[in-house]
């Protein structure tokens, strides 16, 4: 266990996980400095400069949003400074078995569903990580008889060295976050870290239909448990799954495999799945107004997530696309949009790139803002149509987060409800 009392620690990034790491270190006697590119009202805060990193530090804890290839961090690493994320920092202090869930898409839904199934079966559990409570903050409420269900992003996993999941889950690995990881191989390697630290007696729950997931089975010491979305009928009638789309059938099968490992009977799993509500901002039904249905999939921040969202509907779509580009290839959307969409409504900084890659495949409407896109979709949509926010981009050009973007979308739709009447 890393000695913390008296060490000099620098926490980089003062959003939720950074603040939790700062408080954790301070409570254990470390001499902690907080830093960020923006000012934060935190004790012992200093503005983020290159010179700050060059001072003497025993430990640097970058938040998930901080790239590890910043020259200042690379210099510190070269000097022998210990650079770890809050997940690695939390590992020795987190009591109880750990379920770690990663993947390019579906992490939030699957993590929430596993938590719901365990809670419904009266199994002690707490849920957090990349959603909700930071892992470092979960240490205070962890207990030996309680499961810790963690959503883990590639940003969190790239600093993992000793953190170990009793049950590791990978849902899929598709092109994402290449603006951060630079290559797909680097991105996949970050996901792989979840399985490289596992031991015999642990479980690796992997998507049998995903090539990268299958490759993880070759090196993990854990017992491999495969899942397939096509097997949903072996668990329950597909029509009774309350969240739409084949990708959600895969998420359900992954969650069911995890719950079975945790000791939940099949009947309990099925009963819990039937009562599960879609995660906010993930294919979330917002309202039906004059026969037009509105869905909020603001968490579709990658092209693959948007493909899965579009695949969940039979057609008659008005798809809102755009935001901050993540070095993505939008050309794979050409065929599904041509087949299923009346139009794609383009917003945000990536609009030019999306338009150039989709031109000729579908009707493209330049809207600029989400407010304009909702208004344009409403003006043109007819009964039986669906307006789908599935941006395929990050949100940080116009919004604070994907949650903020989804909330604004819902507020705009609610504004339409006020004047036109709706069913929710």
pLDDT in tens, the chain (424 residues): 778 999 999 999 998 999 999 999 999 999 999 999 988 888 899 999 999 999 999 999 999 889 999 999 999 999 999 999 999 999 999 999 999 999 998 999 999 999 999 999 999 999 999 998 999 999 999 999 999 999 999 999 999 999 999 999 999 998 777 677 789 999 999 999 999 999 999 999 999 999 999 999 999 999 999 999 999 999 999 999 998 888 899 999 999 999 999 999 999 999 999 999 888 898 899 999 999 999 999 999 999 999 999 998 999 999 999 999 999 999 999 999 999 999 999 999 999 999 999 999 999 999 999 999 999 999 999 999 999 999 999 999 999 999 999 999 999 999 997 766 554 4
The per-residue pLDDT for range 125-179, each reduced to its tens digit, is 999 999 989 999 999 999 999 999 999 999 999 999 999 999 999 999 987 776 7
Q: What is the DSSP string of 300-330?
A: --SHHHHHHHHHTS-S-EEEEEESB--S--G
Could you tell me which of 256, 32, 278, 13 has the C-alpha nearest to residue 134? Answer: 13
Q: What is the pLDDT of residue 421?
A: 54
CA dist 414 and 287 (Å) reads: 8
Q: What is the pLDDT of residue 175?
A: 73
Q: What is the pLDDT of residue 174?
A: 87
Q: What is the pLDDT of residue 179?
A: 78
CA dist 108 and 316 (Å) reads: 27
- In the chain, what are the domains? 8-83 (3.40.50.720), 88-274 (3.40.1190.10), 284-418 (3.90.190.20)
Q: Residue 407, Cβ neighbours under 10 Å: how many? A: 17
Say if residues 321 and 393 touch (Cβ distance below 8 Å): yes
CA dist 111 and 122 (Å) reads: 17
Q: What is the pLDDT of residue 424?
A: 47
Q: Residue 143, Cβ neighbours under 10 Å: how many? A: 11
Say if residues 269 and 256 touch (Cβ distance below 8 Å): yes
User: Six-digit token pair at 346?
Assistant: 């383009």
CA dist 309 and 245 (Å) reads: 8
Q: What is the pLDDT of residue 420?
A: 67
User: Six-digit token pair at 22?
Assistant: 């700062």
List, edge to edge, every strand of the sheet that includes 45-47.
Answer: 45-47, 31-36, 8-12, 59-62, 82-83
357: three-class secondary structure by DSSP: helix
CA dist 334 and 17 (Å) reads: 38
Dihedral over alpha carbons 20, 22, 23, 25 (to 10 degrees)? 120
Q: What is the pLDDT of residue 359?
A: 96
CB hemisphere CA count around 421 (13 angstroms): 2
Q: Residue 210, Cβ neighbours under 10 Å: how many? A: 18
* Tokens 């899929």 belong to residue: 172
Pairing status of strand 125-129 against strand 147-151: parallel
Q: How many residues does the chain have?
A: 424
Q: What is the pLDDT of residue 3?
A: 87
């Amino acid at each position: 266990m890393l000695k913390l009392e008296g060490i000099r620690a620098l926490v980089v990034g003062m959003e939720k996980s950074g603040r939790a790491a700062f408080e954790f270190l301070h409570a254990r006697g470390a001499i902690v400095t907080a830093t960020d590119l923006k000012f934060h009202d935190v004790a012992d805060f200093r503005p983020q400069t290159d010179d700050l990193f060059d001072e003497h530090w025993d430990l640097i804890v970058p938040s998930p949003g901080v790239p590890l290839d910043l020259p200042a961090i690379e210099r510190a690493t070269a000097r022998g400074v210990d650079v770890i994320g809050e997940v690695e920092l939390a590992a020795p202090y987190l009591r109880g078995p750990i379920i770690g869930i990663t993947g390019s898409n579906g992490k939030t839904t699957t993590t929430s569903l596993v938590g719901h199934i365990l809670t419904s079966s009266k199994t002690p559990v707490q849920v957090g990580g990349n959603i909700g409570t930071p892992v470092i903050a979960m240490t205070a409420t962890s207990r030996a008889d309680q499961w810790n269900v963690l959503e883990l992003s590639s940003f969190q996993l790239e600093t993992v060295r000793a953190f170990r999941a009793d049950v590791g889950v990978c849902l899929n690995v598709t092109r994402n976050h290449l603006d951060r990881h630079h290559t797909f191989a680097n991105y996949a390697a970050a996901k792989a870290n979840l399985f490289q630290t596992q031991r015999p007696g642990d479980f690796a729950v992997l998507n049998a239909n995903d090539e990268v997931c299958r490759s993880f089975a070759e090196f993990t010491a854990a017992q491999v448990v495969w899942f397939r979305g096509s097997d949903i009928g072996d668990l329950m009638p597909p029509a009774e799954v309350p969240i739409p789309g084949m990708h959600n059938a895969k998420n359900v099968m992954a969650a069911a495999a995890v719950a079975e490992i945790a000791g939940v009977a099949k009947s309990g799993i099925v009963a819990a799945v039937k009562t599960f509500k879609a995660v906010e901002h993930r294919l979330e039904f917002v309202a039906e107004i004059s026969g037009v249905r509105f869905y909020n999939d603001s968490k579709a921040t990658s092209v693959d997530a948007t493909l899965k969202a579009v695949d969940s509907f039979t057609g008659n779509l008005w798809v809102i696309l755009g935001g901050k580009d993540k070095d993505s290839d939008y050309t794979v959307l050409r065929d599904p949009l041509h087949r299923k969409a009346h139009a794609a409504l383009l917003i945000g900084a990536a609009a030019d790139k999306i338009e150039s890659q989709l031109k000729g495949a579908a009707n493209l409407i330049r809207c600029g803002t989400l407010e304009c896109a909702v208004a344009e979709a409403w003006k043109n949509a007819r009964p039986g149509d669906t307006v789908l926010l599935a941006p395929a981009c990050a949100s940080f050009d116009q919004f604070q987060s994907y949650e903020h973007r989804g909330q604004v979308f819902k507020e705009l739709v609610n504004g339409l409800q006020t004047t036109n009447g709706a069913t929710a």
